[in-house]
Amino acid sequence: MARAAEDIAPAPIDRAIARIRAVYRSWNRDTTIARMRSDWDAAFGGTTAPVTCEGVSAGGVDGEWISPANAPKDKAVLYFHGGGFRVGSVASHRDLIAQIAVASGCRVLAINYRLAPEHRFPAALDDAQAAYDWMLGQGFEPGNIAFAGDSAGGNLALAAMVSLRERWLPLPAAGVLMSPWTDLAATGASYVSRAEADPIHQRPMILALAQAYLGGQGDPCDPLVSPLYADLTDLPPLLIQAGDRETVLDDSVMFADKARVAGVEVDLQVWDGMIHVFQMFGAELPEAHRAIAEIAMFLDRHLHIKAERASS
């Protein structure tokens, strides 16, 4: 006999969506930004992954080293969290970062860059660059560093690379981007074609976040605001992961296409049935677990982590 619909357990992706919606639905027009940030941290903070966490000031930017056992001391990932430049922190993303650290065997430096609307563009980008400069000052070689980020953090990773390239400064070895927000003008066709499939993010919300980040006079097509509009020549190899249910999908697809034309090595992975930054649910979603494994393999190819661990 077929089970009644109400007796069928929800799919893992539906449980992940419900967790996100529960946070959003607790907010209204009177909810303060501080409350939104604390709610987001409480909903997604914490980790049971076997890592050590150590606070650090990275060039004046609050950060945290998240380290698995026996990680090489001379290799690292610099991580920029997502949250639309408005919410999110190392705390809210600690589990995702820890999962990447454990899977790759590499230390991760995650930073709490300044958030909008109190700190508009280019404050977050300035903090990203300050943290990278600090790492170089600590003796890390650019070829032993990878940038990584999700959503707005993916934007920061790319914008920092473009800024470094424009100033003839050394770039990191590679970049990992999860659902990167590359176009703050939100021109992608997926904002329409995926509107019904995406349970969380719609174009008006994306544009409101962009306006908060830029202020009244900011240009969403500035290459350092929206890397989609930048000259992408000479950027390092990139791994881009996105879900096929997200309205922000074309931010990844269009960027990957443009980067390839510029001669950049790009591996674009679009995951069936997945939502924006589905990797945050690595403990719940088999697809997220596999995606993190793909990230680990990409990082090892470009940072040679396993070879160094084996020789130490």
Mean per-residue pLDDT, 153-167: 98
Q: How many Å separate Cα 250 from the centre of its chain?
A: 16
Residue 36 contacts by C-beta under 8 Å, 6 or more apart in sequence?
27, 86, 87
Query: What is the tens place of the pLDDT at every residue in 15-36?
Result: 999 999 999 999 999 999 999 9
Per-residue pLDDT for 274 more than 90? yes
pLDDT tens digits, 290-303: 999 999 999 999 99
CATH of domain 53-311: 3.40.50.1820
* Structure confidence at residue 78 as a pLDDT band (50, 70, 90): very high
Mean pLDDT of 277-297: 95
Residue 130: how many CB atoms within 10 A of its CB? 16
pLDDT attached to residue 311: 61
pLDDT interval class at 2 (50, 70, 90)? very low
Q: Is the model's pLDDT at 1 over the cut of 50? A: no
pLDDT in tens, 58-71: 999 999 999 999 99
| Residues 81-119 pLDDT 10s | 999 999 999 999 999 999 999 999 999 999 999 999 999
Residue position matching structure tokens 């390092």:
236
pTM confidence score: 0.95
- Catalytic residue selected from 151, 163, 179, 226: 151
Confidence band for 309, pLDDT divided at 50, 70 and 90? low
Q: What's the pLDDT score for residue 138?
A: 97
The pLDDT of residue 9 is: 65
Q: What is the pLDDT of residues 214-251, one digit of tens each?
A: 998 899 999 999 999 999 999 999 999 999 999 999 99
Q: What proportion of the chain, given as a percentage, has pLDDT over 90?
A: 90
Q: Are 299 and 104 in contact (CB under 8 A)?
A: yes
DSSP string, the chain: -PPPGGGSPPPHHHHHHHHHHHHHHT--TT--HHHHHHHHHHHH----SSEEEEEEEETTEEEEEEEETT--TT-EEEEE--STTTS--HHHHHHHHHHHHHHHT-EEEEE----TTTS-TTHHHHHHHHHHHHHHHTT--GGGEEEEEETHHHHHHHHHHHHHHHTTPPPPSEEEEES----TT---THHHHTTTT-SS--HHHHHHHHHHHH-TT--TT-TTT-GGGS--TTPPPEEEEEETT-TTHHHHHHHHHHHHHTT--EEEEEETT--TTGGGGTTT-HHHHHHHHHHHHHHHHHH-HHHHHHH-
Residue 151 catalytic?
Answer: yes
Is residue 310's pLDDT more than 90?
no
